[in-house]
C-alpha cells in the first residue's frame, strides 16, 4: 500500500493505492488537510485506470498518409521522430516545430518540457492546456497583487469564514471534498445555473445569483456599488494597503443595482442582500472559478471580483481573502516552470533579460539562444499546418480535439501537420490522429511533485509498476534530446535530479522552489511556495505586503462589455459549458472507468421545459445544439429552474457529442483565454439513432493551408 495523491483536480486529495490481488488496484482516502480523509467518486474509482484494457503499451507509428497506426519498437519510434524534427528544423527553422503540454503533468515534466522546447528544439512555439483553465485569474492576480498563486492561503483557512462568495465555481461537483471546508459559512453562489453548489447555498441560508451568461462583470460592478452605498467599504484598508480605488470606483459608480438588474437579470434586492452579507461578515472570502474566467473579457471579470474583495478589505487579512480555485491537478505548478509561451521557471517572464540570464546559466546555454515568447494555446493550435505556422507538434498530457474551443477547426489543423506526436497512456481522440503515439506512465506509476490549488508542493509516489514497454515522459524527452544532439546529462530522466535543477532554475523567482527537497517533502512541513532554500515556506501570502514594489494591491478599472457573440434571430439562445461530478476534463480517463461511464454515459443539454417545447423537444429527446461553428448532439434534460434563454452542456464527451464543437474561440486580449462560457446557439431536434462513432485510427487528410 502506497500513499500518494489523486490524479484529477487541483485539490490533490491524499489517497492510498493498493493492489487487489487480481492484477488491479483500489484507492481509499488518506488523511490530509485538503480532503480530510474524504474522496469524491472519481477519486474512489481512480485505481481502475491502472488496469484499463485500453492501456497503450507499445509505440505506434503511421508511416504513410492513410495508413493505420502499427506497433513498433521504442528505438524505431524515437529515431523516426528525431529524424523528422531535424529535417523540419533544417528546412523551415526552429519554430516549425511546436510543443503542447498539460496541466496534469508533474512539476518535473512541466519543467523539462519547457527546457526541451527552448534548448533541444530552440522553438518559441510552446504552450499548454492550462491556458484554457486559469489564465484569466492568473493575469488578474498579477495585476492586482503582483503574484499569482491560486489560493494565497491554506484551504483550511476557509473553515473560519462566515460568508463565502463563489463566482463561477460549482465545487459541489468539481471538488466535492472542498465542501467540507465551506460548511460553516453562508454561501453566495454566482452561476447562471441552479448548480449543486447553488442548491446547497439555498438550503443553508445562502443566496444564488443567476446572471445572464456573459454579464458576471456587470454583476461584480453592481455589488461594489451596493457595498459602497451601504457604507461597507474598508476605508482604512483602502488608504493603507491599496492604490487605484478612485478610478475603479468611477466605473462602478454607474452600476446601481437597478441598472445591474436590467443587464444581468439578477434582482436589485438580491444584489443589495449579497453586498450586505459579504460586507457585514466578520470573516469573508471571494473565490472565483472557470465561470468567471472563460470569457473574452475574463481577465477584467476576475479583476472586478478582486476589486470587490479589495474594497471590503479582504485580501491579506487573517480569516478573509480572495482566491481562485485552480482546476487541473497541477494547473498551478504547470504554468510556473516553463510550459506557458511567455514564462520561464520560477514564474519568470521570458522577455526579462535578468530572468533569461539566470535560467540560461542553470541550463548551461547562452541567454541569447533562448527564444522569445510564442503563440498562446489556441493561437498555436490554430496556426498548425499553415504556411507561417508549425509543421510538427509534440503533444504531452492533453486532448485538444475534445478540450479546445471550435474543436472541429482544431481537428482540421492537427490533420494538416507534417508530423503529430502524442505521448499518452490511452488512445485519446487526439492520439487517433497522430503519426506517432508514445505510451507513457500514469499517475500512480511515477514519482514526482505536484502543486495544488493552495500553492502547496506535494510528493507523488510510485504505487504500481508500469506495464512492460511503457516509459515515463522524462525518459521520452531524454531520448529525443540525445537523438537531437544534446548531452545526455542535460535532460535527466530521474525526477529527483530534475527537481533539484528546477529548484536552481526557480531560485529567486516569484515561485521559488529552491527549498523543495525530498527530505522536506517527506517531513510534516507544508511546503507552500515561495519556498526558498534558506527560509521557511509561505503558507499565507500578503499578510504584511502585496507583491508589487510598493507593497500595495492595485485596483484595476474595468467596465462591462458584451460577450464576443450575443443571441440573435438565427441563434436565439446562449450556450454555456461546464463540468459534472462523474467526469473530468476531456473524459479521456473517466470515460474509461466503468462506474463513471455508467453514471454519466453521454452528453446532455440542460434546458428549461418551455424552451425545449418551443423547439419541438421534450425531456429525453436527442437534440442538436448548433452555433456558427458546429453542432453538438445531446440528450435533452429539462429543468424547471433553468434560465429560459440559456442551455448548458458538459464538455467531457467526444465525437459528435463534443460541446466544444460549438464554443467560441474569441480570446481575452490579456490572458488569451477563449470564450468557452457563452456563445449564441439554437436548439433543434436530432435523429434518434446516433451515427457510427467508430473513429479509431481514422486516416488523416493531407496537409492543408
Please check the confidence at residue 681 and state whether its pLDDT lies above 90: yes
Can you state the angle between helices 216-229 and 257-264, rounded to 10 degrees? 160
Q: Which of 560, 559, 563 is nearest to 675 (CA)?
A: 563
* CB-CB contact of 667 with 673 (8 Å): yes
CA distance 349 to 132: 19
| pLDDT recorded at residue 690 | 59
The values of phi and psi at residue 399, to 5°, are -135, 65
CA distance 351 to 504: 19
Q: Which of 306, 292, 336, 304 is nearest to 148 (CA)?
A: 336
pTM: 0.96
Please check the confidence at residue 565 and state whether its pLDDT lies above 90: yes
CA distance 460 to 444: 8
Distant-in-sequence, close-in-space partners of 101: CB < 8 Å, separation ≥ 6: 109, 110, 113, 114, 126, 127, 128, 129, 130, 334, 339, 396, 397, 398
Kindly state the percentage of the chain with pLDDT values over 70. Answer: 98
Q: 645: exposed, middle or buried (C-beta count within 10 Å: 0-12, 13-18, 19+)?
A: middle
Angle, alpha carbons 244-249-255 (nearest 5°): 155
| pLDDT recorded at residue 696 | 37
Q: 523: exposed, middle or buried (C-beta count within 10 Å: 0-12, 13-18, 19+)?
A: exposed
**Model confidence pLDDT, tens digit, residues 491-503:** 999 999 999 999 9
Distant-in-sequence, close-in-space partners of 655: CB < 8 Å, separation ≥ 6: 429, 693, 695
**Model confidence pLDDT, tens digit, residues 61-73:** 998 878 999 999 9
If residue 27 lies in a helix (H) or strand (E), which one and from where to where?
strand 25-29
Please check the confidence at residue 703 and state whether its pLDDT lies above 90: no
List of domains in the chain: 2-51 (2.20.25.90), 77-128+330-443+462-492 (3.40.50.740), 135-325 (3.40.228.10), 573-685 (2.40.40.20)
| pLDDT, average across residues 476-490 | 98
CA distance 653 to 584: 10
Looking only at the bridges linking them, the beta strands covering 186-190 and 163-167 are parallel
Please check the confidence at residue 208 and state whether its pLDDT lies above 80: yes
Match 487573517 to its residue by C-alpha cell: 318
| pLDDT recorded at residue 694 | 38
Q: Which of 639, 127, 672 is nearest to 381 (CA)?
A: 127
CA distance 303 to 472: 39
Angle, alpha carbons 607-609-611 (nearest 5°): 70
573: three-class secondary structure by DSSP: strand
Distance of CA 569 to the CA centre of its chain: 33
Match 453586498 to its residue by C-alpha cell: 275
| pLDDT confidence bin for 701, thresholds 50/70/90 | very low
| pLDDT recorded at residue 687 | 86
Please check the confidence at residue 692 and state whether its pLDDT lies above 60: no
**Model confidence pLDDT, tens digit, residues 20-36:** 989 899 999 999 999 99
| pLDDT, average across residues 432-437 | 98
Distant-in-sequence, close-in-space partners of 508: CB < 8 Å, separation ≥ 6: 346, 358, 514
Please check the confidence at residue 286 and state whether its pLDDT lies above 60: yes
Q: Where are the alpha helices (DSSP H) in 158-287?
A: 171-174, 179-182, 196-203, 216-229, 235-241, 245-252, 257-264, 268-280
| pLDDT recorded at residue 699 | 37
| pLDDT recorded at residue 479 | 98
| pLDDT recorded at residue 596 | 96
Q: Which of 165, 166, 137 is nearest to 150 (CA)?
A: 137
Distant-in-sequence, close-in-space partners of 565: CB < 8 Å, separation ≥ 6: 627, 628, 664, 666, 675, 678, 679, 680
* CB-CB contact of 188 with 210 (8 Å): no
DSSP secondary-structure letter at 656? G
CA distance 303 to 315: 13
* CB-CB contact of 698 with 65 (8 Å): no
Kindly state the percentage of the chain with pLDDT values over 90. Answer: 95
Q: HSE, CB side, 13 Å, CA atoms: give it for residue 86.
A: 13
Please check the confidence at residue 178 and state whether its pLDDT lies above 80: yes
Tell me the average pLDDT of the chain. Answer: 95
Q: Which of 161, 213, 219 is nearest to 187 (CA)?
A: 161
CA distance 375 to 506: 23
| pLDDT, average across residues 395-406 | 97
CA distance 303 to 245: 12
If residue 604 lies in a helix (H) or strand (E), which one and from where to where?
strand 604-607
Q: Can you say whether the dihedral through the CA atoms of 194, 258, 297, 111 is positive or negative? A: negative
| pLDDT, average across residues 107-116 | 98
| pLDDT recorded at residue 327 | 83
Please check the confidence at residue 698 and state whether its pLDDT lies above 70: no
C-alpha cell belonging to residue 367: 541567454
Amino acid at each position: 500500500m502506497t500513499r500518494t495523491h489523486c490524479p484529477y483536480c487541483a485539490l490533490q486529495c491524499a489517497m492510498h493505492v493498493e493492489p487487489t490481488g487480481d492484477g488491479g488496484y483500489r484507492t481509499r482516502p488518506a488523511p490530509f488537510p485538503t480532503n480530510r480523509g474524504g474522496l469524491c467518486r472519481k477519486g474512489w474509482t481512480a485505481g481502475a485506470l491502472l488496469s484499463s484494457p485500453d492501456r497503450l503499451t507499445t509505440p505506434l507509428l503511421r508511416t504513410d498518409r492513410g495508413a493505420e497506426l502499427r506497433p513498433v519498437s521504442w528505438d524505431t519510434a524515437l529515431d523516426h521522430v528525431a529524424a523528422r524534427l531535424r529535417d523540419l528544423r533544417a528546412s523551415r527553422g526552429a519554430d516549425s516545430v511546436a510543443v503542447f503540454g498539460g496541466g496534469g503533468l508533474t512539476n518535473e515534466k512541466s519543467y523539462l518540457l519547457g527546457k526541451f522546447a527552448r534548448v533541444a528544439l530552440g522553438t518559441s512555439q510552446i504552450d499548454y492546456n492550462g491556458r484554457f483553465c486559469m489564465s484569466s485569474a492568473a493575469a488578474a492576480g498579477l495585476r492586482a497583487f503582483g503574484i499569482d498563486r491560486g489560493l494565497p492561503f491554506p484551504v483550511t483557512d476557509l473553515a473560519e469564514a462566515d460568508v463565502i462568495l463563489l463566482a463561477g465555481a460549482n465545487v459541489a461537483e468539481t471538488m466535492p471534498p472542498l465542501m467540507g471546508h465551506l460548511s460553516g459559512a453562508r454561501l453566495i453562489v454566482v452561476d447562471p445555473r441552479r448548480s449543486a453548489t447553488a442548491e446547497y447555498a439555498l438550503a443553508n441560508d445562502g443566496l444564488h445569483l443567476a446572471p445572464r451568461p456573459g454579464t458576471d462583470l456587470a454583476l461584480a460592478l453592481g455589488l461594489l456599488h451596493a457595498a459602497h452605498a451601504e457604507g461597507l467599504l474598508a476605508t482604512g484598508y483602502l488608504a493603507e494597503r491599496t492604490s487605484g480605488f478612485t478610478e475603479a470606483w468611477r466605473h462602478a459608480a454607474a452600476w446601481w443595482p437597478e441598472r445591474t438588474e436590467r443587464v444581468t437579470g439578477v434582482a436589485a434586492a438580491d444584489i443589495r442582500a449579497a453586498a450586505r452579507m459579504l460586507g457585514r461578515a466578520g470573516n469573508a472570502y471571494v473565490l472565483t472559478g472557470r465561470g468567471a474566467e472563460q470569457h473574452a473579457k475574463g481577465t477584467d471579470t476576475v479583476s472586478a471580483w478582486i476589486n470587490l474583495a479589495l474594497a471590503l478589505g479582504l485580501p491579506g487579512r487573517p480569516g478573509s481573502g480572495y482566491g481562485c480555485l485552480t482546476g487541473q491537478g497541477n494547473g498551478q505548478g504547470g504554468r510556473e516552470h516553463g510550459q506557458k509561451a511567455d514564462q520561464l521557471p520560477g514564474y519568470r517572464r521570458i522577455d526579462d533579460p535578468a530572468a533569461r540570464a539566470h535560467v540560461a546559466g542553470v541550463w548551461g546555454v547562452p541567454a541569447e539562444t533562448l527564444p522569445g515568447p510564442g503563440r498562446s494555446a489556441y493561437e498555436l493550435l490554430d496556426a498548425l499546418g499553415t504556411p507561417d505556422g508549425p509543421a510538427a507538434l509534440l503533444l504531452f498530457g492533453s486532448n485538444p480535439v475534445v478540450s479546445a474551443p471550435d474543436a472541429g477547426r482544431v481537428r482540421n489543423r492537427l490533420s494538416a501537420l507534417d508530423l503529430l506526436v502524442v505521448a499518452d497512456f490511452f488512445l485519446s481522440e487526439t492520439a487517433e490522429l497522430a503519426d506517432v503515439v508514445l505510451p507513457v506512465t500514469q499517475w500512480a506509476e511515477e514519482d514526482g511533485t505536484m502543486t495544488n490549488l493552495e500553492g502547496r508542493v506535494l510528493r507523488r509516489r510510485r504505487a504500481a509498476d508500469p506495464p512492460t514497454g511503457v516509459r515515463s515522459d522524462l525518459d521520452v524527452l531524454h531520448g529525443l534530446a540525445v537523438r537531437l544532439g544534446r548531452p545526455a546529462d542535460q535532460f535527466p530522466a530521474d525526477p529527483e535530479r530534475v527537481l533539484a535543477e528546477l529548484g536552481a532554475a526557480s531560485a529567486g523567482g516569484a515561485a521559488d522552489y529552491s527549498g523543495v527537497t525530498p527530505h522536506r517533502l517527506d517531513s510534516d512541513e507544508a511546503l507552500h511556495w515561495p519556498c526558498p532554500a534558506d527560509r521557511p515556506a509561505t503558507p499565507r501570502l500578503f499578510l504584511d505586503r502585496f507583491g508589487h514594489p510598493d507593497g500595495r494591491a492595485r485596483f484595476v478599472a474595468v467596465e462591462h462589455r458584451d460577450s464576443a457573440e450575443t443571441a440573435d434571430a438565427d441563434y436565439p439562445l446562449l450556450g454555456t459549458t461546464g463540468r459534472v461530478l462523474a467526469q473530468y476534463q476531456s473524459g479521456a480517463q473517466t470515460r474509461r472507468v466503468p462506474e463513471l461511464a455508467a453514471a454519466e454515459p453521454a452528453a446532455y443539454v440542460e434546458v428549461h421545459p418551455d424552451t425545449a417545447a418551443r423547439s419541438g423537444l421534450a425531456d429525453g429527446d436527442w437534440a442538436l445544439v448548433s452555433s456558427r461553428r458546429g453542432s453538438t448532439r445531446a440528450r435533452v434534460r429539462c429543468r424547471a429552474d433553468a434560465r429560459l434563454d440559456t442551455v448548458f452542456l458538459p464538455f467531457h464527451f467526444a465525437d459528435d457529442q463534443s460541446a466544444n464543437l460549438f464554443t467560441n474561440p474569441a480570446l481575452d486580449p490579456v490572458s488569451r483565454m477563449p470564450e468557452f462560457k457563452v456563445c449564441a446557439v439554437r436548439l433543434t431536434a436530432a435523429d434518434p439513432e446516433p451515427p457510427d462513432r467508430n473513429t479509431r485510427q481514422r486516416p488523416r487528410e493531407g496537409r492543408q493551408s
